[in-house]
Structure 1
Amino acid sequence: MKKLLTLVILFALVAPVFAQSTDSRRTIVVTGTAEAEVTPDNITVSIALQEFMDGKKRVPIYELEAQLEKAVKDAGIPKEDFTIDDVSAWNNYYQKKRAPDFMAGKQYHILVHNLDKYNKILAAINPKGISATEVQSSEYSKIIELKRELKIKALLAARDKATYMLDALGEKLGRPITINETDPATNYFSSSVPQYSNTIMFNKAAPAESDINYKKIKVSFQVQAVFEIK
C-alpha cells in the first residue's frame, strides 16, 4: 500500500511538469536589426605647448598660454571645460631648477562640442609653440535616447519580417511569445582612437593647420523575437 501511495504522489508531482513542457503552439523565430550613425558632440582634446627660440629670443610658456586662454575664451568655451595638466606644470618647475635652458611645456585639455571651434583655437596660437595635439575621447550626448529608439525599431523590424514571411505562406502572425535583445556591449561601439587623426604633430616652421576629420559613431541593436503563428 505504501508503494502504491508513493507512486501516486510521484505521478501527481511529475504530471504538471510534463504538461508544462509540452507546447503545441506553432511559432516563428526572427531577428530584427536597427542601426544609426551619429556625430560625436562631446569631444575632449589636448593641446601641448612648448617654449621655443625665435632667433635669439625665447618665447616663454606663459606667452603661449595667454594666446591659448584668449582663443578658448573667444571660442565661447566655459572655464570648467578648459583644464591644465598639473603634473606637466610641476615637471616644468623641477626641470627649470636643474637646467635654466630647459624648454618648458604644458598640456591642456579642452572639451568642445564640434571641431570647428578647436580648429579656430589652434589657428590663434603661434604654430611654433604647438608641439602636439590629440583627440582623447569622444561621446554622443544623447546615446541613451538613441539606444531606446533603436531597440524599438529593431523590435518592429522583427515583427515586420515575421509578418511578410508568414504572408508568403498564407499564415497569420500571432502574439509575441518571447523577446530577447543581444548583449548591449556588442551593440554600441565608438572607436575613439581611430575616428580622428589621433596625434597631430606640427612642424614648428609651418602654420598650424588641423587635419582632424570627423568619423561618425555607429550604433547597432539586434532583437530576437518568437511569435506565435495563428
Structure 2
Amino acid sequence: MKRTIVFLALMLMTLSYGQETKPVPQITVSGEGKVKVIPDEATVSVSVETKGNVAKDVKKENDEKIDAVLKLIKKMNLAPADYRTQRVSLNPQYDYEKKKTSYNATQTIEIIVRDLNKYDELMEGLVNQGINRIDNVVFQSSKLAQYESEARKLAMKEAKHKAEDYVSVLGQKVGRALTISDNTQSYTAQPVYARFKTMAMESDAAPRETLAMGEITITANVSVNFILE
C-alpha cells in the first residue's frame, strides 16, 4: 500500500513538473520612441578670469567683476534659484625662465535662462561687466518630464507593432507582456560651446543673434517580452 502511495505521488510530481516546464510561446522585441522639441531655456556657464603678480590684487579684481556680473543678473530679474557660483579658484603659476610667480583667479557662474528672448541681452551685458570666458551653453526643455513620457509611450507602441509584424505570417496574435525592460540612457542636453570672440560686440554694433538653438531629441528605448496566443 505504501509503495502504491509513493508511486502515485511520484507520478503527480512528474506530471506537475512537466506542466510547469512546458514552454510558453513568446517573442522579445525592442522599441524606440523619439520626440523632437524646440528648446525653451538654456543653461549658461560663464567665467571671470584675472591674472597678475600679487595674489590679493588679482582676487580683489576678480571679486569686483563678479560683483558687477551678479548685479546685472539681479537687474534682469532672474530668480535667485536660477544662478549660482559653480567654481572659485586662485592658483599660482610659476615661470621657470623668469623665475617669477604670477596668479590666476577664476570664478564661474552657472545661469539658467528661462526666457530665451533675454539671451542676447544677458550675454552682451555679461561681457560688458567683465565676463571673459564662456565655457558652454546647453539648450534644454522645461517640459522634459512630459516629453520623456511621450517618448516612452512611442517606444512601447513601436515594440508592439514590431511584434505584430513578426507573428502576422504565423497565424498567431500578440498577447500580454511578460517583462518590460527600460533601456533608456539618461537624457543629457548637448552643450553648444561658444568662444568669447563670438560673443564680443563693439559698443556701436547693432544687436544680433549669436546662436542657433535648433531642436533637441528626447529618446526612450524598451525591450518587451510578449506572450504569443
Post-superposition shift, 1:226? 1.7
- Cα deviation, 1:184-208, whole Å, max 9, x if unaligned, reads 33xx44254xx311x6344998659
- Report if aligned partners of 2:180, 2:224 keep a CA contact under 8 Å in 1: yes
CA distance in 2, matches of 1:136, 1:10: 71
> Taking structure 1 as reference, are residues 206 and 220 closer, same or farther at Cα in structure 2, changes over 3 Å only?
same
Partner amino acid, structure 2, of 1:171:
G
Post-superposition shift, 1:181? 2.8
CA distance in 1, matches of 2:183, 2:170: 34
Q: Does 1:200 align with 2:199?
A: no
CA distance in 1, matches of 2:159, 2:178: 12
Q: Which has the higher strand share?
A: 2
Q: Which residue pairs with 1:32 in the alignment?
A: 31
Q: What TM-score do the two structures reach when normalised by structure 2?
A: 0.64
CA distance in 2, matches of 1:114, 1:181: 37
State the secondary structure of the residue aligned to 1:22: coil
Q: Unaligned regions of 5+ residues in structure 2, if any? A: 53-59, 93-101
For these two proteins, the number of residue pairs brought into alignment is: 211
Q: What TM-score do the two structures reach when normalised by structure 1?
A: 0.64
> Taking structure 1 as reference, are residues 162 and 217 closer, same or farther at Cα in structure 2, changes over 3 Å only?
closer
CA distance in 2, matches of 1:85, 1:150: 32
- Report if aligned partners of 1:32, 1:156 keep a CA contact under 8 Å in 2: yes
State the secondary structure of the residue aligned to 1:17: helix
Post-superposition shift, 1:123? 0.7
Percent identity between matched residues is: 17
- Report if aligned partners of 1:29, 1:224 keep a CA contact under 8 Å in 2: yes
Q: Unaligned regions of 5+ residues in structure 1, if any? A: 54-58, 95-100
Partner amino acid, structure 1, of 2:178:
T
CA distance in 1, matches of 2:51, 2:32: 54
Partner amino acid, structure 2, of 1:145:
Q
- Report if aligned partners of 2:159, 2:223 keep a CA contact under 8 Å in 1: yes
Partner amino acid, structure 2, of 1:79:
P
CA distance in 1, matches of 2:25, 2:103: 79
CA distance in 2, matches of 1:10, 1:19: 14
Deviant stretches of 4+, over 6 Å = 203-206
- Report if aligned partners of 1:52, 1:129 keep a CA contact under 8 Å in 2: no
> Taking structure 1 as reference, are residues 42 and 206 closer, same or farther at Cα in structure 2, changes over 3 Å only?
closer
> Taking structure 1 as reference, are residues 163 and 157 closer, same or farther at Cα in structure 2, changes over 3 Å only?
same
